Amino acid sequence: MQPLHTKALGLVLLAGLWQTGKSQLKKDYPIQPVAFTQVNVTDNFWAPKIRVNADVTIPYTLEQCRKTGRIDNFKRAAHTIPGDSMTEYTFDDTDLYKVIEGASYGLQVKKNPELENYLDTLISIIGAAQEKDGYLYTFRTVNSSHPHPWIGTRRWEEEEDLSHELYNSGHLFEAAVAHYQATGKRNLLDIAIKNADLLVKTFGFGKEERFPGHQIVETGLTKMYRVTGKKEYLDLAKFFLDVRGPGKKHSGEYNQSYKKVVDQHEAVGHAVRATYMYTGMADVAALTGDQQYLRAIDDIWHDVVEKKLYVTGGIGATGNGEAFGKPYELPNMSAYAETCAAIANVYWNSRMFLLHGDAKYIDILERTLYNGLLSGVSLSGDRFFYPNPLASMGQHQRSAWFGCACCISNMTRFLPSMPGYIYAQNKNDLYVNLFAGNTANITLPAGKVQIVQQTNYPWEGKVSIAVTPAKATAFALHIRIPEWAAGKPVPGNLYFDADSSGKKKINILLNGEPLKYQLVKGYAVIQRTWKAGDKISFEFPMEVQKVLANSEVKSDVNRFALERGPIMYCLEGPDNKDATVQNIVVNKNAAVNAVYKPDMLNGVTVLEMQGTSSSRQLNSDKLINTTQEVTAIPYYAWANRGPSEMTVWIPYEASASRPKPAPTIASKAKISASTPNRRMYMALNDQYEPANSNDNTGVYLHWWPKHNTLEWVQYDFDQEYSVSSSQVYWYDDSPFGDCRIPASWRILYKQGDQWVPVKNTTPYPVSKDKYDSVQFEPVKTKALRLEIQLPVSNASGIHEWIVK
């Protein structure tokens, strides 16, 4: 084993970013981040969120790992407790690794002996489950009598598909580096080194030539290389990228193996896998100088930002494969925009900045950070989103836990590292990338300097930066001027400000006097000899921007989104009339007032404006239109007050809105069903008109993964009614999904305590893309049941069930 290169250690960021040191590796990113341990955030926005993560989210997630059996996975693999029953997913071990990583980052900032001792206990449990040659994968080592179907019959056999053996290793490596650098202890690092050495021995050209099914081991290996100096780890990371490609059993777009990585120029497939891979490509390119990697990820970045990025910074349009969609395919209600994908998007854009020094990458990072990433965790720190949709009819609720808990554990490890994205340095060039109240102590080649930022960002645009060098020191300060401040939400033309005229240059003052500066790659560059007492001040315009989408984005036609500073806004039910927002229309020229509400949602600036709302009347095409006050809240804060309607994109044309439905006997009924997922029940009577059977932009009810069973849905009416007809619109997501139109269906009514079939006077048709109608002899009843026979080999689902 080679000795550790202690001078190159530094305290890493979560994403594997390291501190500049004298023994810097021969090749590296030209720009280095200033480690979060050197930046003490003191503001009223990020500091409380980091504190909630430390005090609530990390302990909560560790306890959930215990309660759900994730810790027992290791004990059973080590045979220290009896039984071979494991948790649900073969990657569940990584949740423990990620929480250890996040807790370790917390220890770097604030000592906690009790937590440190508990981590040592967990590490000993992990070590006991490791096999003698370094293999660490509890689902195989437990030697279960009923092995998980994803693991295959031997090691690595299903790695390119679902086993996640290398994915587990990648998160182990990241946790081990974080823990070692936080505590100086080698207990987890030695476990990781033993596992990494096994991978080096096992994989390579002429050995096991397999690519990881889910990427992350590549960045884990580069972290291990940075800490140990073992070039074999870097070489293996490069191998895992180079071996990926077509011709294998599980090659395809889903796991980005449809082409060699250097031949890929657009974002396809699973969004988390993809952005982890692009991050790994950036790391390996920086450490090896491979220009082909750079050309590929440069092209992919443009593809994402110009065609596949949500205005919230979210990525991954579809739940089918948790994947990128086609260009401009950005549905709102069904947006997947996974929390893990947002975190990976920050990692990737951070690396792109370190490679190129261009502010446009931090613009995307900031947009994602304040919106599509931060929305993933509740204000209380113990409720979470997996997907982050941009519209809801109330079916989306934060969850206390997920069977697949990757997003929860990912959030615990991300938030402590946020301060590490504020500053970066390249020799004597010091970059100010993000704006938050903080004190940072930074060592440049020219000397030590303290930076104190004071601001109430993102609610206010004023920023002051006190620069205090240990002695008079010459260096360049690069201050990012966000593109949104110039009326341009993102690079390219995917989104644009409805009125970008009259945007003024940002005035920067030095010690109270106007300063001339050059704008280079989005940064105001101030080169001078700095002395104690120097102060930079400026103010970003915080006018509300009405953002429009490219006309190719069909989901956003005749709608605008509200942005103020880096914050995207949404309309949510609790703040608006009748708790309804899908029926609201706001004139594109309406005045919008920003009001800070200190007692609302932990303190937020809300946007207030005049708008109109529409509602339908029963048996009439005429709409009732009402003028009303409309209130918007920051998108990240939605769904903290229970389930409700929400929309980011606000109609400015009535044709884009959805009038509030008229009450019907179905809409007033109580719903029950043979599927226990109550969130889906509202699909039956929400009067949302599907575009076709495969329309997943609204709510639908389904029985997946059941096949060939008899299922039912039921309306219990508010009183007895005479009914004589029914219409059903089936959900069918063929050819890629598992739901199909049913084999058959029928209507029953409740007579006393018995369910009696109606006497139909027309057949029961079964068809796609339209309502199936049946007429029957009138019955008086207080309840109606729709009985469905699922197909032999498929599930079925329902968009809408109408009763007359």
- pLDDT by residue (tens digit) across 565-592? 999 999 999 999 999 999 999 999 999 9
Q: With cut-offs at 50, 70 and 90, classify the pLDDT of residue 501.
A: low
> d(Cα 372, Cα 631) in Å, to the nearest integer?
20
670-803, CATH topology level: Jelly Rolls (2.60.120)
The verdict on whether omega for the bond into residue 735 sits within 30 degrees of 0, i.e. cis, is yes
pLDDT at 4 over 90: no
| pLDDT, position 660 | 87
- Which CATH topology does 424-480+504-539 take? Maltose phosphorylase, domain 3 (2.60.420)
Q: Are 413 and 98 in contact (CB under 8 A)?
A: yes
Kindly tell me the sign of the dihedral angle through the C-alpha atoms of 752, 753, 759, 760.
Answer: positive
**Residue 483 backbone dihedrals phi, psi, to 5 degrees:** -65, -30
Helix residue ranges, H only, 68-164: 70-77, 93-109, 113-128, 138-141
pLDDT in tens, 352-404: 999 999 999 999 999 999 999 999 999 999 999 999 999 999 989 999 999 99
User: What are 425's strand-pairing partners?
Assistant: 32, 430
* Model confidence, pTM: 0.92
Number of H helices, E strands in the chain: 15, 31
Burial of 676 (0-12, 13-18, 19+ CB in 10 A): exposed
Residues contacting 271, CB < 8 A, separation 6+: 315, 316, 322, 323, 324, 336, 338, 341, 344
Domain with CATH 2.60.420.10 in the chain: 424-480+504-539
User: Pairing mode, if any, of strands 650-651 and 559-564?
Assistant: antiparallel
310 to each of 316, 320, 408, 483, how far by Cα in Å? 9, 17, 21, 16
pLDDT greater than 50 at residue 759:
yes
Q: Return the H-helix or E-strand segment holding 184.
A: none
- Within 8 A by CB and 6+ apart from 190, the residues are none
pLDDT digits (tens, 9 = 90+) for 311-352: 999 999 998 899 999 999 999 999 999 999 999 999 999 999
Integer angstrom CA distances of residue 764 from 250, 529, 727:
42, 84, 10
Q: What confidence score (pLDDT) does residue 623 get?
A: 86
Residue 17 has pLDDT above 60, yes or no: no
Instruction: List C-alpha distances in Å: 190 to 122, 327, 787.
Output: 14, 45, 59
Are 802 and 688 in contact by the 8 Å Cβ rule? The answer is: no
Burial class from Cβ neighbours inside 10 Å (0-12, 13-18, 19+) for residue 319 reads middle
Band (296; pLDDT cuts 50, 70, 90): very high
**Please, where in the chain does CATH 2.60.120.260 lie?**
670-803
Dump pLDDT digits (tens) for 67-99. 999 999 999 999 999 999 999 999 999 999 999
pLDDT band at 502 (very low <50, low <70, confident <90, very high): low
Q: How far apart are CA 226 and CA 233, in angstroms?
A: 9
Binned at pLDDT 50, 70 and 90, residue 20 comes out as: very low
